[in-house]
Homo-oligomer: A and B are copies of this chain.
């Protein structure tokens, strides 16, 4: 198969769009802004889900499911949250179609089937969930309440891109309630750490942990913790957020509990989520001009085996060898595919698995049969080796681990070499064009300065890193005092 993929250096954005479609991850649908997640893309998402779900359960959370729709009066109860999402939401107003009398075979909205109250398709579920929590929480014994939901949400974005920004997307949203402020903050930080661990150990994406500035905060939150990643084009991508909600939603929905001393108090909340956007981050962190590069921990197929033969007898002999290898690999829980299609040539298959980012490709031909070897190719480095068949399954197992670690190390090196300290706005503007990446700069802490910098450069404050050095400095823009550097970047 011919890949015809635009090069990253030519047009990074075009490369991304083409790759997502050609590698069978997703495509645009006939519905404005909504994507179809294709089987290969969905298989990666399923692996992400399984891992995250395990981590959520290990940290004490249970799954539940809440309604897709939010009645308008419920939606508007927490004012800041409502304001934040009102401008881009899908609204259900009617519940029936009827035959269109003027157009045979066509349907029209039945004007007699108007809802008494409009329903908003959830852009996020705080409102519907906190209205439910009101009935679930009476006493300190009901706390903490630790719940997660896997769901679809809708935000009516005007400019959409596959995975990165779509009108409908899939995500998980955790919603927890606690007796004390300290406990709720601890939960928010814990879940940010779970996300960071997942991003680094499974996606092989290094992340900066931090808090958002006021203007980048989730609508209705007191504090937004986040993990920020850097893509190969030097633009940042917010990979997950965890919000400390204070008592905002508890107050909006009147959720109180009796303390052990019998006092009535509002509970403290958190919410946290990651979405199919992570698929975009995965593609943009690791892939190259030949196609996807998937980390072994998330690859639906970790190893593919391609036979090279000229006769049926050769294929039979190869198959005998491959069957042994396949069962040895499966015993080690390595997912392996033997591509013995007779309709496609080896070269076509090599190209296809390169495009699809399968971490390890094994080829076996007549020479290998004779020598008792396999040819093992790494997708990440595009290097090949001939390996003896004895004990090769252990070699492959180690190789997968090596690839996983090496992908992370490379991404980390790239990321670290793209964090630049800048001390003046001139320097910042200049480097922003030539170098890209994160820029660590002093900022005076005001939304006004942040806004002006954004207007002039399109760069935003990605986060205030949790591990930043507290140091006196002057804001690169206003010259006012600063207590430490924050990370600026252009972002997805």
Contact = CB atoms under 8 A, between A and B. Distances in A.
A65 B88 contact: no
Contacts of A66: 29, 36
A39 B147 contact: yes
Interface stretch (A67-75, A280-288, A324-332, A453-461): A67-75
Nearest to A37: B65
Contacts of A128: 29-31
Nearest to A103: B76
A75 B31 contact: no
Interface stretch (A92-100, A345-353, A466-474): A92-100
B36 A62 contact: no
A105 B289 CA distance: 52
A68 B152 contact: yes
Instruction: Tell me the interface secondary structure of chain A in the complex.
Output: mixed
Nearest to A40: B62
A64 B46 CA distance: 10
B119 A31 contact: yes
A397 interface: no
A439 interface: no
How many copies of this protein are present in the complex? 2
Contact of A29 (B34, B118, B132): B132
Interface residues of A, number: 64
A35 interface: yes
A298 to B, nearest CB: 15
Contacts of A207: none
A274 interface: no
A263 interface: no
A109 B72 CA distance: 9
B86 A107 contact: yes
Interface in A44-85: 45-46, 62-72, 74-76, 79, 82
Contact of A95 (B74, B90, B97): B90
B30 A46 contact: no
Nearest to A131: B30
A293 to B, nearest CB: 22
Given A36-B132, A141-B343, 15 more contacts: A29-B67, A29-B128, A29-B132, A31-B119, A31-B128, A36-B65, A39-B63, A39-B64, A42-B64, A46-B63, A65-B170, A72-B97, A75-B107, A90-B95, A93-B109
Interface of A: 27, 29-31, 34-39, 42-43, 45-46, 62-72, 74-76, 79, 82, 86-98, 105-107, 109, 118-121, 128, 131-132, 135, 141, 147, 151-152, 154, 156, 168, 170, 343
17 contacts: A27-B135, A29-B132, A30-B128, A31-B70, A39-B147, A43-B63, A67-B168, A79-B105, A82-B97, A86-B96, A86-B98, A86-B107, A89-B97, A91-B92, A93-B94, A93-B109, A121-B121
The 3 residue pairs across chains A and B that have the minimum distance between CB atoms = A34-B67, A39-B62, A86-B97
